[in-house]
Amino acid sequence: MKTIWVSTKRSERTYPVEIVSEWFSRVSRIISRDWKGSSVFIITDTNVRKLYGQRLLCGLLLRGIDTWLIDFPSGEQSKNADVVNILHSALLERGVRRDSVIVALGGGVVGDVAGYVAATVLRGITYIQVPTTLLAQVDSSVGGKVGIDHPLGKNLIGAFHQPSAVCIDPLLLRTLPEREYKSGLAEVVKIAAALDASFFKFLERNAAQIRKRNGRTLCNVIERSVRLKAAVAEKDEFETGLRKTLNLGHTLGHAFEAVSGYRLRHGEAVAAGLVAESRIARDMGLLSTKEFARLLHLMHALGLRMSLPRVKNKSEFLS
Ligand SMILES: NC(=O)c1ccc[n+]([C@@H]2O[C@H](COP(=O)([O-])OP(=O)(O)OC[C@H]3O[C@@H](n4cnc5c(N)ncnc54)[C@H](O)[C@@H]3O)[C@@H](O)[C@H]2O)c1
Ligand SMILES: [Zn+2]
């Protein structure tokens, strides 16, 4: 097991991000050690419920822990106020208390929604992130940014609410569909391009192994991404400066995602945003032609889609 500690000065919280090989026993152990007597709410989506949620529910119930399993339909369309309202009601009806704990078991959508519910119910309760997609393992589960979309734009409603622990098991990715895996790789490329030239080189050298989901290489990718993300989140918890570098590819990416009616995966939109924003940077003389070509080459080697989505409604895109 590898542990990366994240300490946030302003909210005075320190929490471990653990990269483990037995997520189930590790999460059960953390919960039975730290939350004796208080109820546990596993929040997940419909897909992850079937794959992993039932197992965690049974395991915790067998340990005598008062546990509830609550799901919502999978996908970005669920990142909204109606779903949050339903989850708030489900928790309140089941007697949530200030010492209850939420386990966010799923991808970035579950992490964002369950984290936001944890930040708001009873003015904030503890939660643990158990990310099950590559995107959530390398990016969204670390840093405490939680929230939902609004009809006027993506991620416009939310909070900064740090988890008590993050438990990452790369083996959970074995069931992840290829499209979702590639979506996560786009965030990996973003992290490397924004923060670490040697990590970028590592990705270039190991692209074939990464594409094949080679276990050792994948663990390396996850660990390096988490270390970089954690270091930035520590220095700039509330995104006033440095953390904005992690929005690389996201200004145009969010617009691509929204005008596609969220048919594009988040990482697919980020990949398109990376290409479009880097092209603008090259045209403005801020990025060399050689560096731009390296980015395109890496994305190609990882099997990421490079063509920009067709934008039918230009004014919607610009707004
Ligand atoms: N908070 C942050 O800092 C941050 C950072 C980056 C992205 N995000 C957000 O993350 C979201 C995207 O996350 P995502 O790509 O994980 O999407 P997602 O949560 O919708 O998961 C993608 C799909 O994979 C399924 N799935 C999850 N784990 C699985 C597994 N192990 N096996 C099989 N199927 C599995 C899900 O049910 C879903 O259908 C976006 O809303 C984005 O805004 C947040
Ligand atoms: Zn993102």
For each of the chain's 319 residues, which pLDDT tens digit applies? 899 999 987 767 899 999 999 999 999 999 988 877 789 999 999 999 999 999 999 999 999 999 999 999 999 999 999 999 999 999 999 999 999 999 999 999 999 999 999 999 999 999 999 999 999 999 999 999 999 999 988 899 999 999 999 999 999 999 999 999 999 999 999 999 999 999 999 999 999 999 999 999 999 999 999 999 999 988 878 778 777 888 999 999 999 988 888 889 999 999 999 999 999 999 999 999 999 999 999 999 999 987 777 777 777 767 6
User: Which of 51, 83, 266, 304 for a ligand 1 pocket mutation test, highest count of atoms within 8 Å of Cβ?
Assistant: 266
d(CA 81, CA 19) in angstroms, rounded, equals 32
Ligand 1 atom, smallest distance to 45 CA = 37
DSSP letter for 261, please.
T
20-26: long-range contacts, CB 8 A cutoff, minimum separation 24: 20/167, 20/168, 20/169, 21/169, 21/171, 22/169, 23/130, 23/167, 23/168, 23/169, 23/171, 23/172, 24/52, 24/55, 24/56, 24/59, 26/1, 26/167, 26/169
Model confidence pLDDT, tens digit, residues 261-283: 888 999 999 999 999 999 999 99
> 86 CA to middle of ligand 1, Å?
20
Provide the token pair at 282: 């090259």
d(CA 118, CA 101) in angstroms, rounded, equals 8
Domains of the chain are 2-174 (3.40.50.1970), 177-318 (1.20.1090.10)
> 47 CA to middle of ligand 2, Å?
21
> 37 CA to middle of ligand 1, Å?
31
Provide the token pair at 164: 């008590």
Q: Where are the beta strands (DSSP E) in the chain?
A: 2-8, 13-19, 40-45, 67-72, 101-106, 126-131, 145-150, 153-160, 165-168
